[in-house]
Structure formats: structure tokens, C-alpha cells
Structure 1
Amino acid sequence: MLKDVLVVDDQPGIRLLLTDILMNEGYNVTTASNGKEAIEKLVEKHFATILLDYKLPIVDGVEVLKKIEELNLRIPAIVMSGLVEKIENELESFPIVKTVLAKPFDIQQIPILVEQSIDSL
């Protein structure tokens, strides 16, 4: 099973936390600090899933989702946000979004959500 995960968040602390959690579960983690960087990494390599912050500098999370669909990449996404109620309707138009994860999140949920996301393909 492919265990490569892309973590995209503009906050270094969150990237580090998610990297630690996922590496402890045996995943290979690649990180990006903005949407532009995320798109570059998605073009270079195939990932089993992406954890994507909704609000990102340069290119936001929604633009990244649109690009994933444009490129026909079959990558399930977990979108993270502090504004879940406000964005859920907008994200319903993206079938690749498997979960909208509210920040701050329960770190024990992360490995479960990632596994479900990967199994959803």
C-alpha cells in the first residue's frame, strides 16, 4: 500500500506535529508551506492522500483542490480549517475531499482519518 502523504500548512508547528504523528505510524511524509509548493510536489510525485490547510498563502486550499481535479490526480484529501461550518458547503463540490477536519484537531484522530482517506480510493 502506498504510504506517501503530503501535508500542506503554512504553520511550521502544525506541519511538524502532523509529520511526527504520521511518521510514527509508518507513513512517508512530504510537506509544503503553501499551495504553490503543494501543486509542484503533486506534479512530481504520487501521494496516497493529502492533508491540506484551507487557508494558505500564495495559492489557497480550494485552488489546490481544483488543480488536483484538473490534473486528474486520484488523491483523496483531508481539508483542515478553523472555519469548518463556513467552508463545508463549498467543499461539497469536490468529491476528492473525504473529511473536513476542524482545527484545533484531536491528534489521535489523525492516523485513523488518514487511513480512511487512503482506503476511500
Structure 2
Amino acid sequence: MVKKEILIVDDQFGIRLLLTDILEGEGYSVATAVSGKEAFDKLKKNTYSLVLLDYNLPIMHGGEVLRQMDLEHIEVPVIVMSGLSDQVKGEITDYTNVKQVLAKPFNILDVQELIRITLDS
């Protein structure tokens, strides 16, 4: 069985580390990116099963990453993470690859369940 690879995109080291530890512990392969630009560069070169994308990122904003993915036809399910989840929901309605908006701070059990549901659908 091939490991599913998840790309975690967040400029906060602690969140990347926490999510990496949890997801690797569940058997996923994990890649990380600190900025939207780094994430988009990785998305152009690699195939991922899922992207956990912080919306408020340096260099290239999460919304711009979604727009570029759309323009390049990169079809990967995305869970957007944001401290302003209600505002973000209104800004990303046109992106069909966004499966869920996760409010920060989040409960790690909710994240694990959301990832399982997204990868199984």
C-alpha cells in the first residue's frame, strides 16, 4: 500500500511540527512548506493526496495559492486553516478543491477526523 502524502503549509513552525508528528504517527508521509510560494513550487513538482493550507501566509497568500492551483489545473483536495474562518469561507467559494475550512486554533482530534474523511471521499 502506497503511503498518502500530505503537504502542510503554515508559516508557524509549531503548527507544522505538531501536524507533522501527528500525521507521520498515523502512517502518512508528510512534506512541509513555510510560504505560499514554496507550497506552489512543491505542488507543481510533486503529487500529494491532500494539502493543509494556512490562509494567511507570507510571500504568496493562501487565496493566491488556490487561484494558481486552479489556473494550473492542480487537482488536490485542500483543507484551509485560518483564524478568520468565517471571512475565508466567503473568499474561497469558487475553489472546488477546497473541501473544508478549519478554524484556528483547532482541536487535533477534529483535524485527524477531517483528514480521514477528506482522504476517504
Per the alignment, residue 10 of structure 2 pairs with 9
More relative contact order, 1 or 2 (CA 8 Å, 6+ apart): 1
Q: Structure 2 counterpart of 1:56, which letter?
A: L
RMSD: 1.1
After TM superposition, give the deviation of residue 35 of structure 1 in Å. 0.3
Alignment of 1:49-64 (within 5 A): 49-64=50-65
Per the alignment, residue 77 of structure 1 pairs with 78
Give me the whole-angstrom Cα distance separating, in 2, the residues matched to 1:22 and 1:74.
Answer: 21
Residue segments in structure 2 that go unaligned for 5+ positions in a row:
none
Q: Could you state the TM-score of these two structures normalised by the residue count of structure 2?
A: 0.94
Of residues 62-71 and 95-104 in structure 1, the stretch that sits farther from structure 2 once superposed is 62-71
Per the alignment, residue 42 of structure 2 pairs with 41
Give me the whole-angstrom Cα distance separating, in 1, the residues matched to 2:33 and 2:40.
Answer: 9
Per the alignment, residue 98 of structure 2 pairs with 97
After TM superposition, give the deviation of residue 119 of structure 1 in Å. 2.6
Percent sequence identity over matched residues? 49
Q: Structure 2 counterpart of 1:3, which letter?
A: K
Q: Could you state the TM-score of these two structures normalised by the residue count of structure 1?
A: 0.94
Give me the whole-angstrom Cα distance separating, in 1, the residues matched to 2:93 and 2:67.
Answer: 13
Q: Deviations over 1:32-80 (max 9, x none)?
A: 0000000111011100010000000000101111111111121000000
After TM superposition, give the deviation of residue 98 of structure 1 in Å. 0.5
Give me the whole-angstrom Cα distance separating, in 1, the residues matched to 2:64 and 2:120.
Answer: 24
Q: Structure 1 counterpart of 2:81, which letter?
A: M
SS of 2:106's partner is coil
After TM superposition, give the deviation of residue 116 of structure 1 in Å. 1.8
Residue segments in structure 1 that go unaligned for 5+ positions in a row:
none
Tell whether the 8 Å contact from 1:82 to 1:103 is kept in structure 2 after alignment. yes
After TM superposition, give the deviation of residue 10 of structure 1 in Å. 0.3
The total of aligned residue pairs comes to 120
